[in-house]
Each structure stands twice: as structure tokens, then as C-alpha cells.
Chains A and B, each alone.
Chain A
């Protein structure tokens, strides 16, 4: 592997830059997937299963086919065959078996959206229902230990935690619950697919064009080189547009029967609750043992989560407790209850978001038990090395975040007594919680840098650089950030960078996920720039070109790398109605070098708003009889609105970390949500004396 020999000198990096695509976005002219100009796209509307488990015994499409404007109706009886590699989730219309409510059973192609929808409603399906289980029961006999988490082991035990708990001077044991949650990006998942012979062109709302290409290649038994996936603007993803879901396979499958024509399918809002993933519910048992001075001697965090028989994703909630605090003895475990429901998936801060609700609520409960200030309790348990790996930290400024946050929030004046501040009919309280999120780098991105103009080129201007990488812009600000990084790596002004992203024509690339986009893509661009300058210097000829793939981090096995944060919130709970409001939130973060302060603030704010939303609003309710989400729209599934959000303050500390990557950046897309729900629950306890251990925190808890 190679490493950059030139130091990365931040010039554009670190300065506020408005989004290059911003002027288009505020006019609404930045084209999202189904807005891609193209003629004669057919509209797809699906027929979905109304039971959680069973078999299709008969399907009648005649009435649908008779409708004017209907071009084709596909069912499992006549749909083109997919490769055997297509798994249960991706094996769309391949068999009569029903694995989950909402599963696609047929698809109509029509010349208008109205006709497609009407025709889908005319398809009649006979099914035989089979017994199913749809609701999480942690005592289910089917509970199992998964082979591994996405990152890390299923279980991890150090020392003898049960003995340490038995010997501890103070023990806190509590069970916390978090609900099934849905991502609900504003742009519903969408695909436009067209076959040109054996070549498949797909416009897709995705966080990773490479991953979409890979999944479609597997489903259709094609070489990846036969598939192009394009995604220029994505209306939010939050994890649900990371993996490829049945809707994408269905659209490409349906397009197969109309060669040369585009087929478009944007999910309805209701359908986004069926087939495109969710954060699974968790039950989390936490025990903390400590001495009278508040030094932790034991931590146990045992998690049971909702799972699916058709696709495993384990919410790694206990992993949060592996690195936060020092304790001689520690146990973290994960168990899954398989259900007849759709597959869960990554959702913003998977693991950390629900795990921190349990872990950081427990720390607050322990602080109260001990009579120690909750900020001080956390400071006393600051580890010297990473408790999980034993490695030194590349940088860890959690204590600095806590101290700075406490100072800015006015924490020193806080009276710890609960239920002691009633103002105009509202009980007021404040709470704190800590946050962490790992620094992740996905391998396998490819970047190409090409001189445009310059010597022997057209025009008289200075050389420009086309920088190509199949990165995704999902709103996080990749275009601005990568433009700045490329400019600094090439030592030119940003105006001379022409960044091109969102197309597999530019090679493979890691996802916009894991808060790893800037690290993975940025490190790759820096590497390509290094090679370009080694080869051509700073006065290249038109067309000079260099490429690189993501370098390994030479420090990866020497240091533990994480971002940290501290949340301070004020809560008000109405004394009569129990209504809970959050008038003030402060988040202080230590997350390496901030590339673009303007958009970074939005990422932190957005994460904190997600934390508020999870704390107070979000809960998908499953109907055990049919296995569907009952509140499957934005009137039933509440996300935070403008009026739910009070004053939000964001601050970050200067942090110079030479080990994470050449730019010195850590991920910032997810840490904003981590710990917020705990901070709000802790503040609600301070306000009312009522400890809420189950999300969302609703008014009935206080009545």
C-alpha cells in the first residue's frame, strides 16, 4: 500500500462552502431518480400480499389486462426467471411462497400512473394462509445467537462480570426498550430501469451505485460490466437506500418484458413501510456495578432484537457499551428473534442509537443512585485505552465535549433534585448523555483524476481537473466536501475541480453510509491526486490521467478511532397533560477536522433532530394478525416537525487527528443522533421524577 507523501494542506477544506447543487435544489430542478428526462417510461404498480405467511393458490390478471393502457401484468407464473443466487428477499415473483406482508405478488405496467394503480387493484389473488409470528417476544423459543455482527463479535466478555456485579458496592439493573422505526426519507425509493439487449441501465435512488449494481448482477446472473447504475440526486437515505430492496429487482425484472423501454417505479409512502428495511425493535438488559466513588467495576449489556426469516440484520446495540467506559469486567451479547416480517437493515447510527439510549440512561440512573453528578460520573470512567481493543485512541475528546457542553449549557447551576422546577404549569429538567461513533473506512472505491485543458488543451484558461468517483450525494454534502478535498489535494482553487459522482461508469465506490463517505472517498481522491502529481506534476497536459483505489489506513491496527460528543438538553413536561417538549438542545462534538462547517452543522443538527424524533415520536406498530405496520404513513408514523424543535445549538472542538486519514476527518453523519434520546429521558426524569425506559417517551408516562 502507499501513503500520501505530501502533507494534506487544508485551504478549501475547513471553509464554509454552499452546496454546488444548491441553486438547483432550491428551485427544484436537480433531477431525482424518476425525474430523469426520458420518454415513454411505463408506470409500474405492484400487487402486494395481505398475509404474513402463506402461498398463492391462484392469481387472476384478466380484468387488469383488459384495461386500456395496460401493457403487461407479471406474476410468479410468467415473470422472467432470476438467477438462483437471488435470495428470498430479492427473488421477486419467482415462487408462490409468501414470506411477509406486503411482498410483491404481481406487477402492472401501464402508460399512466392512474391506470397502473387501478389495474393493480383489479388483480385478484387467492392465498392460503400459514401460521406466522410477527411481534417480538424476547422469550420466544426460536431466539438465536447470530454468527456475527456487521462489525465485531456477537458476544464479547471480559473478566467475570457476574462476580463483579455480586461484589459491587452499588448495582444498577434496568431493562430498556426501543421500538421498530422506519427511515422515511422524503424521497420514496425509486427506480427507472431499461434493458438495451443484455445491458441493463438503472437510475436508482441509492446510497451506493456500486452496491446496487452488485445486487442486480447477482439477481439477474449478469456480469457487473453489463449494468450501469446512475444516481445523481438522492432525497435522503438514512440506511434504507444502502442495501438493494425487492422494489429495485422488481422494476428491472418488469423492464425485461418491454425491451428498450424504461419502466419507472416510485414507492408510495405506504409501501416504504413494507419492503425497504427498518430499525428493528430492541429489548436491552443493562447492569452496572460501581464502587461508592462511581468507578465502574462491571458493565453488562444484553440485547434481544427483532429479526426476519428472510434476511438477517442484527441491530448491534450492545456494541455501544464495548468502548464507552472503563470497567474491569464487561459482557455484551446479542440475540435475535426470527419473525415472518420484512428484513431489517441499517438505520442512522445502527447500534449506537438504540444502544446509547440504554447505556446512557443507565449511567444517569447510576449517577442518581450514587449521588454523583452525571457529567462527573462519566469523566471518572474515562478509559485510558480503548476498552474493546486495548489500543490507544487516535484521539478521544469525550471529556472535553462534556466539560465544554457543561460550561455553555450552565450545568454548574443545576440542582440535581427531580421534580423541583414547576414554571407556569410545566415541570422543567435538564439532562446529559455522551455519544460516540467509530471512524469507518470502506475499501474498494476508485477515483480517476484527469486534466482538462492545460497544455495542448482547448481554451486559454488554467488546467481544470475532472475528478470522477461513484460517490453518492444523499444530502450529506458530498459534492461540496469532495470538491474541497480534491482542490486541496491537487493544490488548486475549487473552481478548477469538476467533480463527477453517482455513476458506476466511474468505477466501484463504497457507500454513503457508516459516516464513512468522506473518509473512504476523500482518502481515495487524495491518493489519486498524489499519483497524478507524481506522474505529471502541477502543469499537466490535457487528458493526463491517474487513478487510485482506496488505500488501507496504515494506523488501523495501532489505534482505536472514534468520534465523540456530549448532549445537553432541557425538557418541559406539562403538569396536567403530560405533553413533553424540548425547548433547548446543545450538542458538542469532537469529530476530527470539519471539512465544510456550513454543511457539517446541518449534519449534526439533522442527527440531533433525529434523536429528538426517536425520543418523542417514532414507533412502527406491527399488527400481529397480519404482520404489517399499522401506522404506515406520515400521519400515523410521526417524525419531528418544525414546531417540535426548539433552540438547537451545535458546537465542535478543534481536533487534529493524524491517524484517521490524510484529511484528518472523522464521520459526522450519525453521531448527532447518538445519545439524544437518553439525554431527553434523563432530563424528563429530572423534570418529573418519572424514569421512562421505553421509547418513544409519550405523555401517558407522566400521568
Chain B
């Protein structure tokens, strides 16, 4: 069974016909040739497919495309105009917060979404004051990014990179 839908991906509008079993991730990668989000597990266990879906970080492998007709998708490639880098992406590059790079677009989308969540005061399991503003210390960053696995083990550098941007956002 197939269905028609439209998606806006990194600012580009697309209409497409997909199998109703097609995930947002496969719609992007296999139908639109948008391969910035990666397929690491296809089961919501690794985070490599993370995109911003209508502004929120989302595991695109766990989302069926037909359920998101009209949605706006931002991938790591769409966070900044071509030739420029989003501050989080720049910090990842500067801190060498990756090795193989396969989890990286998902890490970066997750970090961008997470910074918004923290700015909006969403607490995490390691937040002491559930009602107050969130201070993004290392434990908060690590906790909030633990849905994104990095088998190369770049976590310490990922926290460095996000902390740098997070502290600038806080200023």
C-alpha cells in the first residue's frame, strides 16, 4: 500500500509516494537521497538517525513517513547554509568530537535539540532543581546525549564541544 505525502527537508519542499511501511529515515535516505541522517540500528537504539522533526529531536527510524505528512525536517546538513557550519557542528570539528563520523549528524541534531530543551527549562534525570533554569554542566550534557551512541568513544570530546556552545548560549 502506498500513500502520497509532502515533506520539507532542509528548506526544500518535496512531494513523494511511499510504501506505508516507509520510515521517515528511509523516506529521506532511499527516496529523497538525503543521507545526512544515518541508519545505525533501525530500532531507535543508537540515535544515528536523529533529525529535528518540526523542531524537536526525533529518531527518524521510529517514525513512519505517512504519519508526518507536511512535516518540516531539519538534518545536520540543513542546520547552516552551504559553506558554513552551525556553531555546534563547528565545535564538533574543533574539538574532534567524532572519529568515523557515522553517528555525528545524529549527535549534532540531538545536541541542537537538547540545547533548546535545556533553554526551555526541561529537567533531566540528573537535574536537582526541577522547577528552576537548567545549568548545562558535564553531567547534564552527558545524560541528555546518552540516546546517541558513539562506538568510536568520542563522548569526552562531544561533551567538550557541546559545553562550549552551551555556555555561549547561556551567556
Contact = CB atoms under 8 A, between A and B. Distances in A.
Interface residues of B, number: 58
A543 interface: no
Q: Which of B39, B94, B153 lies at the interface centre, i.e. has the most chain A CB atoms within 10 A of its CB?
A: B153
Mostly, the B contact residues are loop
Interface stretch (B52-60, B99-107, B128-136): B99-107
Contacts of A607: 153
A648 interface: yes
Contacts of A184: 151
A103 interface: no
Given A269-B42, A645-B142, A235 B153 contact: no
A42 to B, nearest CB: 12
A475 interface: yes
A5 to B, nearest CB: 35
Nearest to A36: B35
Interface in B11-50: 19, 21-22, 26, 29-30, 33, 35-43, 45-46, 48
B3 to A, nearest CB: 13
Nearest to A672: B153
B156 A605 contact: yes
A535 B89 CA distance: 44
Interface in B126-150: 139, 141-143, 145-146, 148-150
B39 to A, nearest CB: 7
B43 A475 contact: no
A235 B101 contact: yes
A166 B84 CA distance: 70
B151 A238 contact: yes
Nearest to B20: A114
Contacts of A648: 156
Most buried by A among B151, B154, B158: B151
A698 interface: no
A634 B22 CA distance: 22
A112 to B, nearest CB: 6
Interface residues of A, number: 61
Interface string B63-100: 00000000000011101100001000110111010111
A411 interface: no
Nearest to B37: A28
Nearest to B139: A643
B108 interface: yes
B152 interface: yes
Contact of B96 (A114, A187, A266, A599): A599
B100 A236 contact: yes
Given A26-B85, A114-B21, A233-B101, A606 B36 contact: no
B155 A266 contact: no
Contact of A29 (B19, B36, B80, B141): B36
A186 B151 contact: yes
Contacts of B37: 28
Give the 3 A-B CB pairs with smallest separation, nearest first. A609-B153, A28-B36, A235-B102
Interface of A: 18-19, 21-23, 25-32, 35, 37, 112-115, 183-188, 233-236, 238, 266, 268-269, 474-477, 598-599, 601-603, 605-610, 613, 633-635, 639-645, 647-648
